[in-house]
Structure 1
Amino acid sequence: MARGHWLDPLARKVLQAVGELPPDPPNQGANPSPAPVKPSVPSWVIDVNRATAEHWRQLPGCSEEMIDLLLRLQRGGVQFSQADDLFQLLDLPAQKAEDWRPHLIFHWYGDAPPLPEATNLDLNGASAQELEQSLHWPEQRLTLFLKERIRRPFHNLADLQERLCLPPETVEQLLGKVRFGDRRPGPSLPPRH
């Protein structure tokens, strides 16, 4: 039976690393367990809520239209708290979303992010009653929304924020909860009694 080296294990490893001692022989007769597979760490990441156009361009398939939308929302103070909200906003295909996911980090700047709710309201197609019940907006904001929607349907969250002068907190509450599918305006708000 071969004896181990008389040095303590740490000193032996240091001397092996610098080439002063040969490596330990493989453990014969034993079944070595396979080394655990480490998840690959991306070589670069993007802080979604502080990313520049150059950062976004690093992502495969990130179009200039997507970059423009994201930067407009960022300038408006809107932040994302999770990847799925970003993917839904950009309508990313599943494979592209999975390609992007390891490169995205979501640091929240300021107070805690809003908690997501599971709704998907079509802002261009919902009736005035659906909007009133779902959004809980003041009457003046809802009236302005409906007038703007009749004038021209909303294209995305940045368009909505800019045309209605919405504060970032209001837009953040809509992330992952709304869509802009139907381009036809819905019925107008009924008069209040």
Structure 2
Amino acid sequence: MTSRVLLLSPAMSASLRQARFDDGGSIDCSAAARARSAAAALPSAARVLASPGVRCRETAAALGLDGVPEPELAGLDVGRWRGRTLEEVGAAEPEAVGRWLSDPECAPHGGESVRDLCRRVARWLAGAQDLTGRTLAVVEPEVVRAAVVDALDLPAALFWRLDVLPLTLTELSGRAGRWNLRLGCPLGTPTPEAD
């Protein structure tokens, strides 16, 4: 049996545009309109999940999806950096930001390390491989990165080298503990149906 997991990154938000650590803000009106116009291009799914974050839930709603919140697919917990821009944090704590960006085990903000996020997403993917039918999940970009790191058995140090654009699909398909990857299809681009 081949399992299929489609990870959809959320629509643009002010936080994303400002390089601000997620602050629970809403998606932009124009981004919501873009999601609504692309909704018909989404492939069918046996189950729809969403990261519990505001922009993921709002993106799912704009797409006309009733995504079930999945705590394992929550975005990276950045602790006390939440709501601050990377520029602000870099100016106040340059050494901490440098360690965080270079060491996947490091969590100077008091939240979750990149390695911990990758482990959490890997656990979820291991369970998803036993599901029949397609799973569509609207998730934060860092969850997509963590899934790619796990699927390809990449070193967690490569996490920050993976770019995830808003409203793009990343498809994982696999069986017997091995995933194949289709990266970054813009929403609205047809995804070939599974055999």
Give the TM-score range, shorter chain.
Answer: under 0.3
Q: When the two structures are superposed, what TM-score results if normalisation uses the length of structure 1?
A: 0.25
Q: When the two structures are superposed, what TM-score results if normalisation uses the length of structure 2?
A: 0.24
User: Which one has the bigger strand percentage?
Assistant: 2
Q: Which has the higher contact order (CA 8 A, sep 6+)?
A: 2
